[in-house]
Structure 1
């Protein structure tokens, strides 16, 4: 993929890079071979410069007006165009680099001697600074991936830091700092959010339909998110190839919804893919495309490729996916605490009754838990998290109360020393964490969006290496803003998956899709995949770097792996994250084509 780099001093750039501008704070771009669709838009006026790089659609006038925002340091306004892109500005005194709200356009920074470096891939910075792998940091991310204050700015490389989504990196000759550019949003009403989402999502689609992309393709699962995007694109006047995986391992009604939706839209050409044998997780595991950072979906690459290769074969130059829709539009379970805190007691009781039926628990217990959670501060939530980790992530029996922060199943496999190290970090964080319910609710939503962005960045890279350019309209900045401005409890509805989306797109998308109450599940492909590929997985874990460095207990991991291979429900998500982390480590150690950047000492 195309990537950018820059420095706080006049030094040589990465190998095969071309300079966007020079001077005291040079910026370079390393182009994507044979992929001319990458957009690099630039404008300058004297000592001030602005570059917008990625999938962005804006006029020359809009770009020129962007310089006015650079002069005023109004960075928020430079993130309101549709698409997914980086923004780089030179104010004449400093370089400012913006990532998007969720962070799927990542930015990293590090220091080499007296020079601050930045890049949109972490590996070049690791090469430039000779950074070692931070295995303990990797394990922390595996256990608490959405605890942004602990892991949000870290990477797998010691000394290489990530700029969180919604932040700007500022570099001068003497300093570098990271600051949020997004102002606090005032909560909106349901009706206001529906109008805002309709405008933002249709703008995101229209920008893509008027782009030079010759062939538009789409995931077309039959689920609400991907199917909606494909239908909106077709109804905006573009022909679309929608690709659906018909999987007999996971029978559900997704395929029926896909066929029904495709039949009603003449501009949508539908291709139903039914490979035999059915593709599973971990197929061709060792052939997974190499990514910049560990990618939790790396074990699913062959399954995705089994149907997405049809889009590549059709000549796709723009492929739509519904990534982000579930995160932004479905109500989290903790929305019950929002109801309690906001005094919506009758609505809380109705929601608690629905959850109680689903979880086979007394309604009173669910409601009481919601009120307790509403009174839980951030420091208290961190202490509850530490208590769960201290117990080894043991599964709760009987009641399973809601918590703001929950460790992943990897907590069950930590060695004593690794557990102590993580608990110490969480305890230190709890001593300085701000109190207050509101900050906790907003913090959780913000951290989950940013964690999803780190996942999507690697998914984009994986697909690009196979010749597929993914587009995720739900993660466009204005779409994200429209969704997160609505209080979480207003995303909740007893009879609709995503009530905000249903209200926003009524009349544009068939009601039969918007009012769908079911959702496809694909767990069987995971467990069957472990059984089919058990020898490859065991071989990978037998040489585990995280075990060798004393962080994970090999016997504990092997026990859960054996359960999964036998089809017995276990900590599957945790297994998948550890397997893919070990895969990334083995690939990185063997990699011969890491982006090179030789940085020599800078003379003052």
Structure 2
């Protein structure tokens, strides 16, 4: 279950048959919002500024999360809904990141966001279908066991196959794909409907950058409009630096946070200093490298319970340090530039699309990319000629799933880089992961977008969104709220609307973002062409905490479940590491799964929190 003070909510159908489910939820929830009928609708825990309500007759609307919406605007949308306007268009044009819940005509609708930062789960409880913003809330209510096959599949590197990462960790608890909305009917049944499809990538760079600029300004305004003090990462990279300049335009006081790097050749520190000098109205906090815990610190302690494994376990102590410091400044909200690399970096898949629409341009681009990939012409041309449908590609991945290492030179012009299991995964774990992939392939899912480039972008941003969602859960215990504006729907749509070949040009660095930020951030800042690299942090953290990592795997939950071979894990961890890709990516997922199991076992075996006797607040919109 979420820790005290952490936001969560559940959604109930408008039916007398939901009373038993409502009673079970209300025992755990301090807040309740009712349907127009007077029955419980939304139960959970949320801060007042995260719940925006409106009602018109029998139609009621809840926008739950960060949203720049006025009461008058939301009232107008509710009236339109009561007059027959479609639910799918209800939130059109609303900036921010939020869940949308609607109760109208005895039917309840709920959805999250495209990036996966706000998700919807549902299960059968006391004879009716119930939805929630967290899977573990529902899993505890119905005593759902962990799905061990899905757990084995989570040993695969994150961000390669979205359907694996978006599958519920609990048997009997369903995870709603971000592009679908959930319908809860009065008879206790449920259905889904697609509410979002990616836009066609038809806009030229200049026009698309203008749309992106407006989306970014609105996203930042949704963070600053309430005033007070906010904080933001200022790594020195283009993504976080752009957010700082966007946030500085608002009415909130800005505190920037920069933690110095270990590598003296990493020029992020110098660029962060240049950016800070251009933000004289902001307060600037710099944390020396020696004051920051190393990567992999804190593995000897039990982490807070998350609803599923999250690779941010690598940074648990570092993030806690930053959270405590920004909390001390009075910050009510912390911004991160996460998602920028996923949206604005070139995706190799665009060449697969380009060769079919503009073959001569594709050939020129291929000549420029080939030296970086160090692949033969025959390999590249064979990859570009491959037209395997997405579901068949998934089946092929399942068929050939084996242990191995990721080759970062792979051009990845297909749907994604083929997934691989870590070298320490047992044959049983590999077989279980293969069954999960085969099950997904048998459902014949459509790709996230028809174009390879858009599919790859959505795969990465949805992986990033779900990771940042778990990051929010991890730092909630420190009383810090969190925002990642690059994951907002409007920002993602603006990026996907642009012709990929126009912002994937060689010799330029993130041209879509720099064009959008022209006039907001200083030109010299936007002309940076380098990017920081953090292998020094990986190797230093691995050196300092190797003993902790080795101790962790001895007698680990994963080992007892037969999913990890401790001897193979030790051998991989003690072997010379060429770079972070040798064990870094597989290690993160293994640690995430192990620490998640450890937290779950600790909190289940420890004293259970007392059940709440009754809802403390009740109100209608």
Alignment of 1:536-555 (within 5 A): 536-555=548-567
1:266-312 per-residue CA deviation (whole Å, 9 max, x = no partner) reads 21222221042653211122254432221111121212334443322
8 Å contact from structure 2 (residues 342, 461) kept in 1:
yes
Partner of residue 3, structure 1: 8
Shift of residue 593, structure 1, vs aligned partner: 7.3
Q: Distance in 2 between matches of 1:542 and 1:155?
A: 27
Alignment of 1:298-317 (within 5 A): 298-317=313-332
Specify which structure has the bigger relative contact order, considering alpha-carbon pairs within 8 angstroms and separated by 6 or more residues: 2
Q: Distance in 1 between matches of 2:492 and 2:303?
A: 30
8 Å contact from structure 1 (residues 19, 26) kept in 2:
yes
Equivalent in 196, 200, 210 of residue 195 of structure 1: 210
Change (3 A) 1:596 1:334: farther
In the alignment, structure 2 segments of 5+ residues that lack a partner are 1-5, 613-621
Q: Distance in 1 between matches of 2:280 and 2:288?
A: 23
Partner of residue 81, structure 1: 94
Shift of residue 561, structure 1, vs aligned partner: 1.9
Shift of residue 155, structure 1, vs aligned partner: 1.8
Partner of residue 50, structure 1: 61
Alignment of 1:125-140 (within 5 A): 125-140=138-153
8 Å contact from structure 1 (residues 250, 521) kept in 2:
no
Change (3 A) 1:279 1:365: farther
In the alignment, structure 1 segments of 5+ residues that lack a partner are 599-604
Shift of residue 327, structure 1, vs aligned partner: 1.1
8 Å contact from structure 1 (residues 55, 83) kept in 2:
yes
8 Å contact from structure 1 (residues 136, 551) kept in 2:
no
Equivalent in 220, 228, 232 of residue 218 of structure 1: 232
1:490-517 per-residue CA deviation (whole Å, 9 max, x = no partner) reads 3302122211111112121122222221
Change (3 A) 1:335 1:399: closer
Change (3 A) 1:345 1:198: same
Q: Distance in 2 between matches of 1:24 and 1:595?
A: 29
1:259 counterpart SS class:
helix
Q: Distance in 2 between matches of 1:490 and 1:221?
A: 27
Partner of residue 381, structure 1: 393
1:28 aligns with 2:29: no
Q: Distance in 2 between matches of 1:229 and 1:396?
A: 32
Q: Distance in 2 between matches of 1:214 and 1:429?
A: 46
Shift of residue 408, structure 1, vs aligned partner: 4.4
Change (3 A) 1:25 1:159: farther
2:130 counterpart SS class:
strand
Alignment of 1:427-438 (within 5 A): 427-430=438-441, 433=444, 438=450
Q: Distance in 2 between matches of 1:136 and 1:149?
A: 16
Alignment of 1:117-516 (within 5 A): 117-143=130-156, 145-146=158-159, 150-151=163-164, 153-172=166-185, 173-189=187-203, 190-211=205-226, 213-236=227-250, 238-249=252-263, 251-276=265-290, 279-285=293-299, 286=301, 288-346=303-361, 348-362=362-376, 364-365=377-378, 367-373=380-386, 375-389=387-401, 391-393=402-404, 402-430=413-441, 433=444, 438=450, 442-516=454-528
Change (3 A) 1:473 1:149: closer
1:507 counterpart SS class:
coil
Q: Distance in 1 between matches of 2:427 and 2:122?
A: 32
Change (3 A) 1:250 1:579: farther
Shift of residue 214, structure 1, vs aligned partner: 0.9
1:496 counterpart SS class:
coil
1:535-579 per-residue CA deviation (whole Å, 9 max, x = no partner) reads 322222112223322233333322222236898862211111101
1:116 aligns with 2:129: yes
More deviation, 215-224/408-417: 408-417
1:199-244 per-residue CA deviation (whole Å, 9 max, x = no partner) reads 1111222333322x41121100110111111112223454311111
8 Å contact from structure 1 (residues 102, 166) kept in 2:
no
8 Å contact from structure 1 (residues 137, 154) kept in 2:
yes
Change (3 A) 1:565 1:305: farther
Shift of residue 75, structure 1, vs aligned partner: 2.0
Change (3 A) 1:337 1:51: same
8 Å contact from structure 2 (residues 102, 109) kept in 1:
yes
8 Å contact from structure 1 (residues 323, 472) kept in 2:
yes
TM-score, L = length of structure 1: 0.89
Shift of residue 323, structure 1, vs aligned partner: 1.4
1:170 counterpart SS class:
strand
Q: Distance in 1 between matches of 2:609 and 2:459?
A: 29
Q: Distance in 1 between matches of 2:340 and 2:74?
A: 29
Q: Distance in 2 between matches of 1:56 and 1:74?
A: 18
8 Å contact from structure 2 (residues 384, 413) kept in 1:
no
